[in-house]
Every structure is written in structure tokens, then in C-alpha cells.
Amino acid sequence: MEPKARVVFPLSFMLFITHWFQLAHHGSAAESCTYIVHMDRSLFPSVFSTHHDWFESTVQSTKSATLGHSFMESQTQIVYSYNHAMYGFGAVLTSEELEGIKNSRGFVAAYPDRNVTIDTTHTFEFLSLASSSGLWHASNLGEDVIVGVIDTGVWPESESFRDDGMTKKIPSKWKGTCQEAQDFNTSMCNFKLIGATYFNKGVIAANSTVRISMNSARDTDGHGTHTSSTVGGNYVSGASYFGYAKGVARGIAPRARLAMYKVIWEEGRYASDVLAGMDQAIADGVDVISISMGFDGVPLYEDPIAIASFAAMEKGVVVSSSAGNGGPHLGTLHNGIPWLLTVAAGTIDRTFGSLILGNGQTIIGSTVFPANALVENLPLVYHKNISACNSVKMLSKLKTEVIIVCDLVPDTKLMYKQMSVVYEARLSGAVFFLNGPMLNDSGIGTFPSITISAKEQTFVGMKPAPAVAVYSSRGPSPSYPWVLKPDIMAPGSNVLAAYTPHTQQLQLATMCAAHPEWSAAAIRSALVTTASPLDNTQNPIRDYGYPSQYASPLAMGAGQIDPNKALDPGLIYDATPQDYVDLLCALNYTMKQILVITRSGSYNCAKPSFDLNYPSFIAIYSNKTMSVVQKFRRTVTNVGVGGGTYRAKVTEPKGSVVTVSPETLSFRYKNEKLSYSVVIKYRKHKKEEISYGDVIWMEDGGAHSVRSPIVVAPSGIV
């Protein structure tokens, strides 16, 4: 008798926290295309009443002077004027017209617009957030913090965006609007969703004949609705995902205000629109910018997110971005921008799905097919000649009305191959076995299948958790590898949030509400130095990209965020805008390249330095040298209630000797600053490898523990 079985499955989660924007130039030298042009604000001619007038005059004069084109034939046009995220404009130009712009007064730099592509109910419990204590209590659930989400728009009818329980007075600093357009009117905004605007001039400039199917801030993709409700969605009772995760859903900051800036379109995805959205968010007075996108293969002075986030940082706006979706390979991380927070994606302690045998025994597994889509009363089939599940031809010899049991495989790569083969063979269902921890972010979701670990797991309280998700991009960042990225890890897999009916981000809002006086760097420092490198079994966090290994800081940063500890970190590493400029100077950026990022000539290169006051350390050694000695200097600020004494505890990376001086820091009063140095001496082994450790400042009495990860790595990984 073949055993009968029933398999219970949920639908594929719409996990979009780390889908990312890829770069591709469009147009050619002989054609018109959109360029982003940076101008020097200090050279603004007083004859013009507005900056836009100056930009328009510059473009028009270039149009008139261009040889080989009549005035009427030229396609030159202003697409956007930028005044907050950057200073300059976007315009459609021919190559000849671009050369004319380069010779005009005030020109700084120009580069082509870039075509781009996109990159979270139980989560708050997993992060130990409770309304009666900790960060949620201290921030009053993020009350009145304004989060600007740069994304695909919003579905305003979702219950996550109801304003029940919100205070009826929007902060006076808010200058934004609710833009009326196709299938979107001003009444759809409220005291929760306080703003919704859209930007698609870049899309239209790239293709003048394009027809925008949803020409408004309404979301038809789902990504923006999902991420914004994850950040600040209101309480929604009776939420579930096709029968799974039943309960009350809410965002990380359920009392925060939300503003959506739609910059991603089905018809095109362009940097000029992204930049326009960030420009408007800064002008509108947001406290936090949440952005799930990034640019690969460009220097900081041509990266719109780097440029816009510098402006945001100057104004005290915290920018949070994801690490990317290119894992598990090293060096795939983008947004390695020193002045923003880069977040890796981790798993949580929840999985869905079960295999129920004919005798009633239930085996817990992981699946991405609906709970209410039952595949039942079918025979389980295992045959030694075909259960390798690696041949469509062999599997096709079976009756399709069976559930195939595939052989145990050692890694996810082989399991994904099995999934593809079984799907192509069109069998009714499959059971896959993995010799390792349960990958609760696995599955292809297009047919009934379940993955079972060699060790049985439970639905909630899965151990070990968290782990670094397979897809999360790893550092270091090619754009700037000398700052350790990512900074931290947060839940990015199996996160339930709102979505459109048609089709990771952080608790920065709550941190800003609890500590409105802190800079963006201070908030980042608090999150980094209190993050945990341990999972819920109190063992080092594992890397699902390499299941046999523990995760390095290049995969998870300092570790999993601990929002309650971040509320009171003890010490912080702060940084000023000039500190970041000193770093750019050390990179030998020209003054024009620095001006592109800073928009102001008020900064100087008097003290160039690679040694940014960052809450982590990375030493990169050359493949040609046998040893490296690198010295870092750091300054910490005491944000505890009063004085306190901290002593250094060091875990040295393999092959390294780490010296901290002084070994004791004694603070007399709150906000006192003290400095120390770290010297890393590394001697290369025959085998090049990445090694890691940490420096922990332990307060006498155990009240605070301030941890900074250390990475020593060969330059070949960049």
C-alpha cells in the first residue's frame, strides 16, 4: 500500500524588501537622452528670480547655439529642477547640446539618466517589541515621526493606512501634499497617509510616446504598499496570509505618519524620477527616508542615492536602504554609502506548511503555497531510480497524480535544481529534504511543494533564527569598501504586510521619536553597537548562503537589530558632514566631484582622512603583501544618564593582533567625548581568507555593552 498524504501550503510571500535597482545607460551619442546636470549654487546669477529660470535659460541658450539643429528641431527640454537632494536639473539633450551645457556658467558635472529595477505580523514579536516597555513605549509607537517612502506608490484603501488612533494634528513642519490624479483623490489621504505624490517625467522623457497606465501615486505593483505598511502600517485585526499568520498586523512604527513618493513605474524606472522623489521628500520635511533601491557600478559622485542622502543627512533626515538582492556572493552590496544606514536581510523564527501522513502524523516544513490549497489523498512515491529528481524525462514516466519524495540534498543549490525539474515534469506535488537548517525563505511557489529539514522544526520559535537570507547582498561595497557594510541585519523574509489586491525596513521612525536630538550618525551607531551576533540558540548567526558557516559581518553587519537596547546604547559614534567630506578628500575626489555631492563650497579639504568615526572596523590587505598594520582612531560620546567607566574587551580576528589604547574610558558626565585608537596587525597565511572579531566596551556594573565588529579581508574580494 502506498501511503496517502495531504500537504498544506501557503502562497509565495511578496518579499520585496531587497529587490534592487540595476543600472543601464540608455540612448547613444547620436540621439537625445536625459542627462542629470549638477550646477554650482554659488554662481547663481542674481538676474534670475528662481533657480529654475537659470537652468531653463542655460538649456535654451545651448539649444539656440547648437550647430546643425534649428531652434524648433531641437528636443532639448527641462525634465526636473532639483534644489534639495541635489542642485541642478535633468534635461533631454543631444551629445552636442551636452557639450554646450558643459561650457556654460556654473556647470559642475553631468551623467546620463539610468534605467533601474526594484530590490515585511510576527516580526515585532521576534524583535521583542512590546507596547508597555522598551523602544515602542519610549517612542509612543513612533508618534508623529514622518516617514517618506520612495517606491512604487500606495494602495490607500488598505486597512494599514487607516488613521484610527492617530492624533488629529499633523506636525507643522510637514509641507507635503496629497496629489490628485488618476484613481486617486485628496480624500484618500488622512492623518496616517499624509502625503502621496508621483514622479514620471523621466519615464516620459525617455519615451515620448509612452502611455502611463496608472498616472498617479496609486500602487499597481505592490512593493510600495508592502514596504510602507511594514514601516508604519496601522493596526489591522484579522490579518492572515491565505490562512497563515492569523492575528493583528501592524508596522514597526504604527503611530508614524507616512508619505509615499511614487518613482517606479511599469513603463520605466529612471534615476531622474528617483532623485525627484527624494528631492521632494526632503523639501516636505520628512524625518526618515525609506528607500529599497540602489545603483551598481557607479562612484559616489554619480550615485543619485548617495548624493540625495548626503543632503538628507545634513538636515538630520535618517536614510535607510537595503543591502541588495545579489547574495550570497561577496562584493555584491550596493548602497555602501558612508552617510546612510545599509541593512541586510535576515530570516525570522517562523515557517509555514506541513506534510500530514495517512496515519495522521504531521511533519512541519517550509513552503510557499496557499494554506487553503490542499493537495490530499495522493500517494507518496519514492523510487531509488528517479528520486534524485534531476531528470524531467525520468519523472515524466510517473503518473502525474502523485507526490514525489526527492532525495536528501546537502545544499540549497541542488534543492532549487530539484524544484525546477519537478515543476517541469508537472507532477501534483513534491517533498524535498535538505541536510541543514530549514530555509524559510526558500521555494519557487508555482506548484505544491514542501521542504523538510533533516531536523523537524516548529512553526513559531524556530531555532536557529535569525540567519542571513540567501539573497541578501554581501559586502564590501565596490563603491566604497573601506567602511564595513552592511551595518546591521533586520527581518526580510516571511514578513506579512499590506499588498495591492491585484498583484527591510527598520524601526528608524521609533528611534527618531525616542531621540529627536540625535543625528543620523548617532542613530546608526546605536543600532550597530547594540545589534546581536547571536541567534535564539545563543550561537553565532548562520549564513543561509553558506549553511555550514557562521555569518561574517560582510553578510550581517554587526548582527540582528535589538531595538530595545538601541534605545539606551551607552556610547555613540557621531559624525558631522565635514567628517564625510574629509573622507571624500582622502579619496582624491576633485573639488567638482565633491561639490556634486555636497552642493556647497563651504566644505574644505584641510584634513583629508579615511578614518571616519564609524562604529565598525574593516582592514583590507593587499594580495601582494604578507602583512598589514592599520590604525584607527575613534571618538565616543557618553549618552548614559551620568558618568561611567568602560573597559575594552577584544576578540581578535584569526591571524591578527589587535591593540586598543587606552583600554579604559572613564566618563564623568553625560555627553562627554573621549577618544581611543585601535591597531590591527595582520600577517597573511598561505590561504587568503576573511577573518573577523570585535571590540566591546563593557561598562563597569554591566549596564551597557558597546560592540563594534572587525573584519580583516584581502583586497581581491572588492
Most confident of 466-470, 476-480, 571-575: 571-575
Instruction: Work out the burial of residue 338: count CB atoms within 10 Å of its CB; fewer than 13 is exposed, 13-18 middle, 19 or more buried.
Output: buried
Nine-digit cell string for 204: 516620459
Task: Answer whether 704's CB lies under 8 Å from 640's CB.
Answer: yes
Backbone angles phi, psi at 10, to 5 degrees: -105, 160
Residue 459's φ and ψ, nearest 5 degrees, are: -65, -55
The answer, yes or no, to whether residue 629 has pLDDT greater than 60, is yes
pLDDT at 425: 86
- Distance from chain centroid for Cα 682: 32
Question: pTM for the whole thing?
Answer: 0.80
Is residue 216 a part of any domain in this protein? yes
**What is the structure's pLDDT at 235?**
59
Model pLDDT, residue 52? 94
Looking up residue 40, the CATH number of its domain turns out to be 3.30.70
C-alpha cell recorded at residue 424? 517541469
Q: Which has the higher per-residue pLDDT, 655 or 73?
A: 655
Instruction: Output the pLDDT for position 384.
Output: 74
68 vs 343: CA distance, rounded Å: 50
Instruction: Inform me whether the pLDDT recorded for 128 exceeds 70.
Output: no
Say whether both 198 and 334 belong to one domain: yes
Residue 402: per-residue pLDDT = 83
The CATH number assigned to the domain holding 675 equals 2.60.40.2310
User: CA neighbours within 13 Å on the CB side: how many for 105?
Assistant: 11
Q: Determine the Cα–Cα distance for residues 349 and 345; give it in Å rounded to an integer.
A: 14
User: What local confidence, expressed as pLDDT, does residue 10 receive?
Assistant: 34
83 Cα distance to chain centroid: 25
- Top pLDDT among 329 and 284 is at 284
pLDDT classification of 648: cutoffs 50, 70, 90: very high
In percent, how much of the chain has pLDDT > 70? 78
Task: Give backbone dihedrals phi and psi of 438, rounded to 5 degrees, phi first.
Answer: -65, 130
Q: Once rounded to an integer, what is the mean pLDDT over residues 556-585?
A: 93
Backbone angles phi, psi at 56, to 5 degrees: -65, -40
Residue 593 belongs to some domain of the structure: no
User: How many domains is the chain built from?
Assistant: 4
Do 152 and 227 lie in one domain? The reply is yes
Q: Is residue 258 part of a domain?
A: yes
The secondary structure element, H or E, covering residue 134 is helix 134-139
Q: What SS3 class is residue 578?
A: helix
> Looking at the structure, do residues 168 and 75 belong to the same domain, yes or no?
no
Is 187 exposed, middle or buried (CB count within 10 Å of its CB: 0-12, 13-18, 19+)? exposed
Query: Is 160 within the bounds of a domain?
Result: yes
220-241 mean pLDDT: 72
Find the mean pLDDT for residues 230-256: 59
Q: What pLDDT, on the 0 to 100 scale, is given for residue 108?
A: 96
Cβ atoms within 10 Å of 576's Cβ, excluding its own: 13
Total residues belonging to the chain: 718
Q: Are residues 493 and 445 in the same domain?
A: no
283 found inside a domain = yes
Does the pLDDT at position 596 exceed 80?
A: yes
Question: Any idea which of 104-113, 534-543, 572-581 has the lowest mean pLDDT?
Answer: 534-543
Based on the domain organization, do 160 and 271 belong to the same domain? yes
Domain's final residue, options 425, 453, 481: 453
Q: What is the DSSP string of 78-106?
A: EEEEESSSSSEEEEEE-HHHHHHHHTSTT
pLDDT of residue 510: 60
- Per-residue pLDDT band for 622 (boundaries 50, 70, 90) equals confident
CATH code, 342:
3.40.50.200
Taking residue 617's Cβ as centre, other Cβ atoms within 10 Å add up to 24
Q: Domain range holding 107? A: 33-112
Q: What is the pLDDT of residue 27?
A: 38
Which among 619, 516, 636 has a CA at the least distance from the CA of 573?
A: 636
**525: which 3 cell numbers?**
551607531
CA dihedral 422, 423, 426, 429 (to 10 degrees): 70
pLDDT of residue 580: 96
Domain membership of residue 641 (yes or no) is yes
| Whether residues 259 and 323 fall in one domain | yes
| More confident site: 565 or 69 | 565
3-state secondary structure of 219: coil
E strand or H helix at 705: strand 705-714
Q: Which residues is 350 bridged to in the sheet? A: 460
Distance CA 216, CA 209 (A): 18
CB-based burial, 156-185: b 16+ in 10 Å, e otherwise: bebbbbbeeebeeebeeebebebbebeebe
Give the pLDDT mean for 508-520. 76
Highest mean pLDDT, choosing among 343-357, 538-552, 588-602: 588-602
Cβ contact 161:274 at 8 Å: no
- Give the pLDDT confidence score for residue 238 in this predicted structure: 46
Segment 308-332 mean pLDDT: 89
Average the pLDDT over 592-620 and give the result: 94
Is residue 187 domain-resident?
yes
Per-residue pLDDT at 188 exceeds 90: yes
One domain, residues 483 and 344: yes
C-alpha cell at 565: 537596547
Cis peptide leading into residue 466 (ω within 30°)? yes
Q: Which residue, among 275, 310, 252, 292, has the nearest Cα to 473 in the 3D structure? A: 292
Q: 123 lies in a domain?
A: no
67-81, 196-210, 419-433, 491-505 — which one is most confidently predicted on average?
Answer: 196-210
Angle between helices 577-586 and 591-598 (to 10 degrees): 150
Q: What is the DSSP letter of 551?
A: P
pLDDT at 525: 96
pLDDT one-digit tens code per residue, 435-461: 755 554 444 455 787 887 755 454 444
Report for 81-95, 223-237, 500-514: range of highest mean pLDDT: 81-95
Residues 241 and 365 in one domain: no
pLDDT mean over 593-609: 93
pLDDT of residue 561: 87
Query: Would you give the distance in Å from CA 486 to the centre of its chain?
Result: 9
Tell me which of 423, 453, 483 is where a domain ends.
453
The three-state secondary structure class of 138 is helix
Range 467-478 average pLDDT: 86
- Write the CB contacts of 261 (distance below 8 Å, at least 6 apart in sequence): 148, 149, 150, 151, 197, 198, 199, 277, 278, 280, 281
Tens digit of each residue's pLDDT (9 = 90 or more) over 387-438:
788 888 888 888 778 888 888 887 777 887 888 888 888 888 888 887 755 5
Q: Which residues of 489-503 are buried (b: 16+ CB within 10 A; e: fewer)?
A: bbbbbbbbbbbbeee
- Cβ-count burial of 347 within 10 angstroms (0-12 exposed, 13-18 middle, 19+ buried)? buried
pLDDT score, position 122: 33
For cell 558557516, what's the residue? 549
Looking at the chain, the whole-number percentage of residues with pLDDT higher than 90 is 47
C-alpha span between 305 and 291 (Å, rounded): 9
Helix (H) or strand (E) holding 108: strand 107-112
* pLDDT score recorded for residue 251: 58
Q: What is the pLDDT of residues 343-386, one digit of tens each?
A: 887 765 445 566 777 787 777 777 756 544 567 778 888 877 77
Rounded mean pLDDT, 65-77: 52
Residues with Cβ within 8 Å of residue 218, at least 6 apart in sequence: 153, 154, 155, 156, 182, 183, 184
Parallel, antiparallel or unpaired: strands 664-667 and 644-651? antiparallel
End of a domain among 48, 81, 112? 112
151 and 278, same structural domain? yes
Element (H, E) at 284: helix 271-284
Task: Supply the pLDDT for residue 683.
Answer: 83
Residues 325 and 377 in one domain: no
Per-residue confidence band for 76, with pLDDT thresholds at 50, 70 and 90: low
pLDDT score of 670 more than 90: yes
Average pLDDT, the chain: 81
693 and 656 Cβ atoms separated by less than 8 Å: yes
Angle among Cα 471, 483, 619 to the nearest 5 degrees reads 105
The pair phi, psi for residue 619, each rounded to 5°, is -115, 120
Q: What average pLDDT does this structure show over 208-234?
A: 87
User: From the CB of residue 23, how many other CB atoms can be counted at a distance below 10 Å?
Assistant: 18
